[in-house]
Amino acid sequence: MIIAIDGPAAAGKGTLSRQIADAYGFHHLDTGLTYRATAKALLDAGLPLDDEAVAEKMAREVELAGLDRDILSSHAIGEAASKIAVMPAVRRALVEAQRAFSLREPGTVLDGRDIGTVVCPEAPVKLYVTASADVRANRRYEEILGKGQSADYAEIFADVRKRDERDMGRADSPLKPAEDAHLLDTSEMSIEAAFQAAKVIIDAALKKK
Ligand code: C5P
């Protein structure tokens, strides 16, 4: 059983994916972390972000088991990740590892930008989780304030828009809903409501198996 979850940054797909994986006892892979780990390895080694052959080599060395959200969550790493994510050779290397992960038993939840369209087009459940740019920027803003740090809303909003443009506008595997994806707009939905909506879709797919 493969559950493919795509959507833009800060739409709530990470939280939803973890909740689904916990509820069904499935393995979870946040594929954004694979792009982030590649970017961090380049930054740490002082290597350029625009050399596709070097970036591909780093991508092939990424260990899925060692991905740590706390270490990889910084804004700078996210920006660098979205830059190297436009490179076809980097995508090929990471997609290979992601596909292998998706076959684990008894089931998997993968979240990212191209899971339903490119990584696992055969997934029986595809969700496209979205929310307005304003709602997503606000969530980021509240999250940073919640950690006791200061934040500038206008700057965060501009960042969300810039990341959307880069992810939706790239030639290789742009962010878009798969034709057979269920759309979940979480702008005015709690995470619990989103989970319940997802559960109905997943249970129906499991029954068909
Ligand atoms: O989701 P997250 O913010 O961690 O992803 C970082 C960047 O990695 C995204 O902005 C996107 O450019 C890239 N990414 C991707 N394909 C995926 C997951 C992430 O291109 N499946």
> Per-residue pLDDT tens for 151-161?
999 999 999 99
Which residue has tokens 């995508």?
Answer: 91
How does residue 37 score in pLDDT terms, banded at 50, 70 and 90?
very high
Q: Specify the pLDDT at position 145.
A: 94
Residues 52-65 have pLDDT tens digits of 999 999 999 999 99
Confirm whether 209 is domain-assigned.
Answer: no
Q: Specify the pLDDT at position 191.
A: 87
Q: What are phi and psi of 109, to 5 degrees?
A: -120, 120
Residue 13, ligand 1, Cβ within 6 A: no
Please give the number of the atom of ligand 1 that sits closest to the Cα of 35.
Answer: 8
Give the number of domains in the chain: 2
Helix runs in the chain, H state only: 13-24, 32-44, 52-60, 69-72, 75-84, 88-102, 133-146, 153-169, 191-208
Confirm whether 155 is domain-assigned.
Answer: yes
Q: Which domain holds residue 14?
A: 1-26+107-203
Average pLDDT over residues 163-184: 95
Residue 67 and residue 1 share a domain:
no
Residue 190 and residue 111 share a domain:
yes
Domain end marker among 85, 105, 125: 105
Domain end marker among 105, 125, 141: 105
Confirm whether 173 is domain-assigned.
Answer: yes
Give me ligand 1 centre to Cα 173, in Å.
Answer: 11
Q: Specify the pLDDT at position 108.
A: 98
Residue 124 and residue 76 share a domain:
no
Give me ligand 1 centre to Cα 35, in Å.
Answer: 6
Taking 90 as the threshold, does the pLDDT of residue 179 lie above it?
Answer: yes
Residue 199 and residue 111 share a domain:
yes
Residue 151 and residue 71 share a domain:
no
Residue 117 and residue 49 share a domain:
no
Ligand 1 atom 12, closest CA: 82
**CA dist list (Å): 8 to 33, 58, 108:** 14, 25, 20
Confirm whether 208 is domain-assigned.
Answer: no
Q: Specify the pLDDT at position 75.
A: 85
How does residue 209 score in pLDDT terms, banded at 50, 70 and 90?
confident
Taking 90 as the threshold, does the pLDDT of residue 150 lie above it?
Answer: yes
Domain end marker among 105, 130, 156: 105
Taking 90 as the threshold, does the pLDDT of residue 4 lie above it?
Answer: yes
Average pLDDT over residues 177-191: 95
Residue 163 and residue 68 share a domain:
no
Computed over every residue of the chain, the mean pLDDT equals 96
Residue 198 and residue 111 share a domain:
yes
Residue 82, ligand 1, Cβ within 6 A: yes
Residue 65 and residue 40 share a domain:
yes
Percent of the chain surpassing pLDDT 90: 93
Residues 78-110 have pLDDT tens digits of 999 999 999 999 999 999 999 999 999 999 999
Q: Report how far residue 161's alpha carbon sits from residue 147's, in angstroms, rounded to the nearest whole number.
A: 23
Confirm whether 88 is domain-assigned.
Answer: yes
Taking 90 as the threshold, does the pLDDT of residue 71 lie above it?
Answer: yes
Residue 176 and residue 118 share a domain:
yes
Residue 39 and residue 129 share a domain:
no
Residue 87 and residue 112 share a domain:
no
